[in-house]
Amino acid sequence: MKGLLYKDLIVMKRTYRVYLFLVLLFFGISIFNPSNTFWAVYATFLTCTVVSTLQNSDETSGWARTCDTVPITRSQLVTERFLLAFLLNLATIALYALTSGISALFGLGATLGTALVTLLSMFMIGILSMSVTLTLAFLFGPQKSGLYRIALIVVMVVICMSIINYGSGFITGLQNLPPLVLALAGIGFPILFMTGSWKLACAGYSRRFF
């Protein structure tokens, strides 16, 4: 497991490091548009889909077949990819919290309530997007999952544009919800969804033929 994580981190550092600059750019935009959660949430979505891109690249290059010849089960590979995406989600959230904290020192950025709702939205969207894109990648392979992911991106953009148009009301509505409801909706449901997606991906990928 550690070897798989190390290998993926090296590949991401060499190939996908531009995503870090995009994430920082989106966070910078969100600082000057604090009533809107779109840019921060989209940064999380973008980061979490990198892992499914990594899986598709491994299958296209033939590394996934090579992986079948070493003492690593396909379920272990699925688990590692889900763990990596989860850690990237947490890292993006931590980076946004740090960015928001620094900007608050200069009187910029969102209020504390808005920032907390944004962090919760980032966690929820990140978990849901990584679960869907990774499961599609493991079940259908690079070609079909790529088409499905385009459809998912379209849906995501439509949702985020709705948040842009009705951002203030959306955030206010979330802030008025009881903390327990917010925790269940923003943390409990995504975790359950990720667990189900992980099990489905393990079962489907173990039976797939390249």
- Read off the pLDDT of residues 104-161 as tens digits, 9 standing for 90 and up: 777 776 677 677 778 888 898 889 889 988 998 898 887 776 677 677 767 766 766 6
- Name the token pair of 151: 């459809």
Please count the structural domains in the chain: 1
With CA atoms as reference, report the closest residue to 84 among 148, 9, 186.
Answer: 9
- How much of the chain exceeds pLDDT 90, in percent? 20
Q: Which stretch of 22-31, 70-79, 142-151 has the lowest confidence by average pLDDT? A: 142-151
The domain containing residue 203 runs over which residues?
Answer: 2-207
Residue 166 has pLDDT above 60, yes or no: no
- Name the token pair of 103: 């900007």
Query: What residue type is assigned to position 90 of the chain?
Result: L
Output the pLDDT for position 161: 62
pTM to 2 decimals?
0.84
Report how far residue 83's alpha carbon sits from residue 47's, in angstroms, rounded to the nearest whole number: 14
